[in-house]
Amino acid sequence: MNISILFFCIIASLGIAFFSYNIWKIKYNINLGLSLERTDQKRKRLKTMILVAFGQKKMFSRPIPAILHLCLYVAFVITQVELLEIFADGILNEHRLFKSSLGGFYTFTISFIEILSVLAFIATIAFLARRNLLKLPRLNMKEMIGWPTKDANLILIFELILLVCIFTMNGTDEVLFQRGASHFSEGTIGSFGFSVSSFIGPLLFDGFSNHTLHIAERVGWWGHLFMVLGFLNYLPYSKHFHILLAFPNTYYSNLDKKGKFTNMDSVTSEVKLMMDPTADPYAAPDPNAPPPSRFGAKDVTDLTWKNLMDAYTCTECGRCTSSCPANITGKLLSPRKIMMDTRDRLVELGENKRKNGKDFDDGKSLLGDYISEEELWACTSCNACVDECPVNIDPLSIIVDLRRFLVMEESKVPSELTGMLTNIENNGAPWQFSQNDRLNWANEE
Amino acid sequence: MQVPTMADMMARGENPDILFWVGCSGSFDDRAKKITKALVKILNNCQVSFAVLGSEESCTGDPAKRAGNEFTYQMQAMMNIEVLNAYEIKKIVTACPHCFNTLKNEYPELGGDYEVIHHTQMIQDLINRGKLGLEESGSFKGKKITFHDPCYLGRANDVYEAPRQLIEKLDAELVEMKRCRTKGLCCGAGGAQMFKEAEKGNKEINIERTEDAIETAAEVIATGCPFCNTMMTDGIKNAEKEETVKVLDIAELIANAAEL
């Protein structure tokens, strides 16, 4: 067996195996969440996924980043064809395996990839500039300091390197082909005729010897492969994981009206019992009844699996935070931080549980150690963050569940709200007016 | 003012076509009471068969639910549902988007299934069916009016057009704020914030929102929510623009234009 085939297979298998292991971990973590039924209305779900994730519908409310992002996204999707060829060539020790069989279509496809790659290159530079030179406010907020900013820049740099590899590979091969020295068909002089590399190849690489070009071509080829495998394995640790989860996350979107908050069935049964005149208050609890659940959420395990998938899908773009009325007016709340905290806490807890067993309690929680009460009480439940999210993440549902825990389990309610709640309970209105006076307005002038 | 209650109606053996859910603001808040009366004038003028619950109405529980107190919410909801179901209510109109949202979306799971509409939808329907005519030379003709989208009407329930079409019926010039419809900025009162001081920040949300409205140079800020009305009115006072900018509910605009 050829040594390069062996090397290729080992590298590729290791890369894919490690990636699979990390995917398993993420799946394990998401499954730590509570169950939630989201498999109904399959057609509507599919439609939502196609429009929002595949079609990027919600991105286009901000056209500039939408177009830049579209360039990267389309280039990324189409480049997979070239990657397929790299894998085929690697395993079979071939050189441009698809060219002979696809002929003109091959030239078209690679040319298309090259044009998209140029656009992606420009977009990536623009993204780097927006982050680091123009310092766009939403990309430079408090919660972005440190790792999140590094993560974002690393991804963009990875992408630049990947694109440089593609053009090195195709450009040098073009020059070699023109000299009759390409491994594609040695001895034959010709041109691949690709849209970009057939011009920039000779421009950049004409001065080099065949030997140097052969090495550069291989560096481009292996570089591409290493970058792809590296990138793949970087994804599970990065905000960039959205490129995979955007699809299931939009499929499992909330399809109800945004104003509808979930009904807490555990409370319904309690309230029904309270209002039932025939209920026996001293009755022994049903021995087969499940243990009473916690009201609301204190930690990530009290959230639903969809909340947790949301957290892994978040790419920290900050559209939510930049539209949040509380954040705009200087309050502590940032919906993006809610999602980032949820993910950070989930990663921490998942790691601890895998190390120390499923019932392990590390004494920390999402509420308190990550998210403060002040953040939660700043929310107006206006749904701007939910509406903004390009991948249908719902930060509001986490905020509400954490509030529920504060109020119902800990009785930690801002004092003015205690008054409001007491009034509702006593006289059926948030203010101190008698219920008997509800129709007085009809007789007032 | 003639306002039949469900109890009166039932005593007479009658059944109204629609229940007007007044809500706590509409019943007790001095500013919101004017909106309530404007809507009643419209309903009476169009001879809509309606009734209110009067002293049998109670808070929907919305602020309790948004504040995280599901117990108080569900107690309220179940009591209200018992009353509504006892009267065999099928259809409800309300001038409060918070009541609207709760009745429409959250009551069904607790056994309260009704067709719920916002008053702007109802007024639009009355005009479309020719039940309500607006005066030709209406008092709002040519005036600039901007519409502030209540979160619980717009984003929460996707109702954006009814209030806007009504403004256009006034022959007024509808001017949009830079943040409108799905991108509309909250007035700051939702999620039980109406009943508490805002958390620490560098600005009040209603001030930020009122600035959006003032920027349009509109003479009237129209809205469809008693809470938004309070917040925007406060914002206008803060900007010392009470003389030049009025905050009015769509029902008030229409009642005024129809000279009711």
What token pair was written down for A402? 């954490």
Asked whether the predicted pLDDT for residue A294 surpasses 80, the reply is: yes
Write out chain B residues lying below 8 Å of A442, CB-based.
Answer: 1, 3, 40
Q: Are residues B142 and B249 in the same domain?
A: yes
B176 domain residue, yes or no: yes
Nearest CA in chain A to B106: A260
Residue A133 CA to its chain's centroid (Å): 25
B233 domain residue, yes or no: yes
For position B114, which CATH number holds? Answer: 3.40.50
What is the predicted pLDDT for the residue at A1? 58
Q: Are residues B51 and B84 in the same domain?
A: yes
Q: What are the sequence ranges of the domains in chain A? A: 3-30+62-251, 294-409
Asked whether the predicted pLDDT for residue A289 surpasses 80, the reply is: no
- In a 3-state reduction of DSSP, which class is residue B115? strand
Report the candidate in A294, A311, A413, A330 with the shortest Cα–Cα distance to residue A370.
A311
What is the predicted pLDDT for the residue at A258? 98
Residues A37-44, mean pLDDT to the nearest whole number: 97
Instruction: Report the alpha-carbon distance of residue B201 to residue A329 in Å, rounded.
Output: 6
Q: Are residues B178 and B249 in the same domain?
A: yes
pLDDT tens-place string over residues A407-429: 999 999 999 999 999 999 999 99
* Domain that residue B66 falls in: 6-124
Do B156 and A429 lie within an 8 Å CB cutoff?
Answer: no
Do A416 and B33 lie within an 8 Å CB cutoff?
Answer: no
Instruction: Report the alpha-carbon distance of residue A258 to residue A256 in Å, rounded.
Output: 6
B21 domain residue, yes or no: yes
Q: Are residues B249 and B139 in the same domain?
A: yes
User: Which of A273, A367, A439, A443 is most worth mutating to test chain B (most B CB atoms within 10 A of its CB)?
Assistant: A439
How close is the nearest chain A Cα to the Cα of B142, in Å?
Answer: 30
Do A437 and B33 lie within an 8 Å CB cutoff?
Answer: no
At the topology level of CATH, where does A294-409 sit?
Fumarate Reductase Iron-sulfur Protein; Chain B, domain 2 (1.10.1060)
Do A257 and B158 lie within an 8 Å CB cutoff?
Answer: yes
Residues A123-150, mean pLDDT to the nearest whole number: 96
B129 domain residue, yes or no: no
What is the predicted pLDDT for the residue at A293? 77
Instruction: Report the alpha-carbon distance of residue A414 to residue A409 in Å, rounded.
Output: 14
What is the predicted pLDDT for the residue at A286? 77
What is the predicted pLDDT for the residue at B137? 60
How many interchain CB pairs under 8 A, A with B? Answer: 220
Write out chain A residues lying below 8 Å of B74, CB-based.
Answer: 264, 267-268, 271
Do A419 and B195 lie within an 8 Å CB cutoff?
Answer: yes
User: Which of B109, B179, B196, B231 is most worth mutating to test chain A (most A CB atoms within 10 A of its CB)?
Assistant: B196
Write out chain A residues lying below 8 Å of B71, CB-based.
Answer: 267, 270-271, 408
Residues A51-58, mean pLDDT to the nearest whole number: 96
Asked whether the predicted pLDDT for residue A137 surpasses 90, the reply is: yes
How many CA atoms are closer than 13 Å to the CA of B105, on its beta-carbon side? 23
Q: Are residues B165 and B74 in the same domain?
A: no
Domain boundary among B90, B124, B158: B124
Domain boundary among B76, B92, B124: B124
Instruction: Report the alpha-carbon distance of residue B50 to residue B239 in Å, rounded.
Output: 40
Domain boundary among B104, B124, B144: B124
What is the predicted pLDDT for the residue at A288? 80
Q: Are residues B38 and B76 in the same domain?
A: yes
Do B75 and A275 lie within an 8 Å CB cutoff?
Answer: yes
What is the predicted pLDDT for the residue at B140? 87
Q: Are residues B115 and B224 in the same domain?
A: no
B252 domain residue, yes or no: yes
Contact A22, A234 (CB under 8 A): no
The three-point CA angle A251-A253-A256 to 5° equals 135
Do B182 and A387 lie within an 8 Å CB cutoff?
Answer: yes
What is the predicted pLDDT for the residue at A123? 98
Nearest CA in chain A to B51: A439
Give A231's pLDDT tier (boundaries 50, 70, 90).
very high
Q: Are residues B187 and B118 in the same domain?
A: no
Asked whether the predicted pLDDT for residue A291 surpasses 80, the reply is: no
Give the number of domains in chain B: 2
Write out chain A residues lying below 8 Å of B70, CB-based.
Answer: 264, 267, 295, 404, 408
Give me the amino acid identity at A77: V
Do A414 and B196 lie within an 8 Å CB cutoff?
Answer: yes
Residues of chain B with pLDDT under 70: 136-137
Instruction: Report the alpha-carbon distance of residue B188 to residue B232 in Å, rounded.
Output: 9
Asked whether the predicted pLDDT for residue A2 surpasses 90, the reply is: no
Percent of the residues in chain A that have a pLDDT greater than 90, as a whole number: 89
Helix H or strand E encompassing A77: helix A63-92
Q: Which burial class, exposed, middle or buried, applies to A360 when counting CB atoms under 10 A from its CB (0-12, 13-18, 19+)?
A: exposed
Write out chain B residues lying below 8 Å of A438, CB-based.
Answer: 22, 27-28, 53-55, 57
Q: Are residues B94 and B156 in the same domain?
A: no
How close is the nearest chain A Cα to the Cα of B179, in Å?
Answer: 10
pLDDT tens-place string over residues A367-398: 999 999 999 999 999 999 999 999 999 999 99
Do A441 and B27 lie within an 8 Å CB cutoff?
Answer: yes
Give A186's pLDDT tier (boundaries 50, 70, 90).
confident
Q: Are residues B235 and B180 in the same domain?
A: yes
Q: Are residues B164 and B193 in the same domain?
A: yes
Q: Are residues B86 and B200 in the same domain?
A: no
Write out chain A residues lying below 8 Å of B196, CB-based.
Answer: 377, 414, 416-417, 420
How close is the nearest chain A Cα to the Cα of B68, in Å?
Answer: 4
What is the predicted pLDDT for the residue at B259? 86
